[in-house]
Amino acid sequence: MRLILLGPPGAGKGTQAQRLVQKYGLVQLSTGEMLRAAVAAETPVGLQAKDVMASGSLVPDEIVIGIISDRLDQPDMKNGFILDGFPRTVPQAAALDELLKKKHIKLDAVVELRVNESALLDRVETRVAEMRARGEEVRIDDTPEVLSKRLANYRTLTEPLIHYYSERRKLLTVDGMMTIEHVTREINRILAAIGAVEPKVVSAKKAVGAARKTAKPAGKKVAKTAKKAAKAAPKGKKTTSSKAGRVTGAGRKAAPAAKGRAAGTAKKAAKKAVRKASKKVTKKRAKR
């Protein structure tokens, strides 16, 4: 399963990504973490990123795409991935599409967590007020002012991706204002609906129950066959087991013989009936 999570800051993308990772064994791809890992590993792309980061500039899209490309080739990607925080712009999305096409990787869906911005700001204001009341330190980037700027950037740069992926029929929208549990259930439901998730495995108890139901009619047929074979077997010889009712000994040998005799008798009766019918037709024609 290959997914992109889309939504404004505070929509809960990180929380839902972690739940998907745990449920389906996916790898969460964070561009920041991938950049740091590539720099630490001193890969060719990582060395390019290191020079750019050292100068304090933003890492160009082509370098980020190169790092994602290297990461997709790692063995732990076999179950799929979740991209959170990338792409942020339409050009990045187009570059990612081209990369996935070259690698013959299909993007299953882009899950958008749609939220009410006013409600998000109210949440942050309430959380900040509660933290200050408890005497806790408030993070610089966790204030209504900072969130307002981040939301404005999202609307300008990232929100056009909703239209981009909607045109490509990849967009799935979920109400991010529901509780965390409800959002998780809805994401799992829509992923199952589009076939991105395999059907649930039937529990062991249900499987055993189904097997027993299937086995009962078959068992009755076997028992009937055993009784017939037992009647056809020579008298005085034990043909069935008292517990299981299965054919044993002479009964097993007698069953095929009895079946053969029954088939022979049926054939003879059919031939006799044909001869009688033929004689009747001949007599009627002679009278005419």
Which active-site residues does the annotation give? 13, 88, 127, 139, 150
Q: Is 82 helix (H, G, I), strand (E, B) or coil?
A: strand
**How many angstroms separate the CA atoms of 68 and 62, rounded?**
10
Going by C-alpha positions, the residue among 94, 100, 93, 98 that lies closest to residue 2 is 100
The Cα-based distances of 108 to 79, 192, 223 in angstroms read: 13, 11, 52
**How many angstroms separate the CA atoms of 182 and 180, rounded?**
6
Phi/psi of residue 215, each to 5°?
Answer: -75, -30
For the stretch 182-187, contacts whose Cβ atoms lie closer than 8 Å and that sit 24 or more positions apart, written own/partner, are 183/12, 183/16, 183/113, 184/16, 184/19, 187/16, 187/20, 187/111
**How many angstroms separate the CA atoms of 173 and 139, rounded?**
30
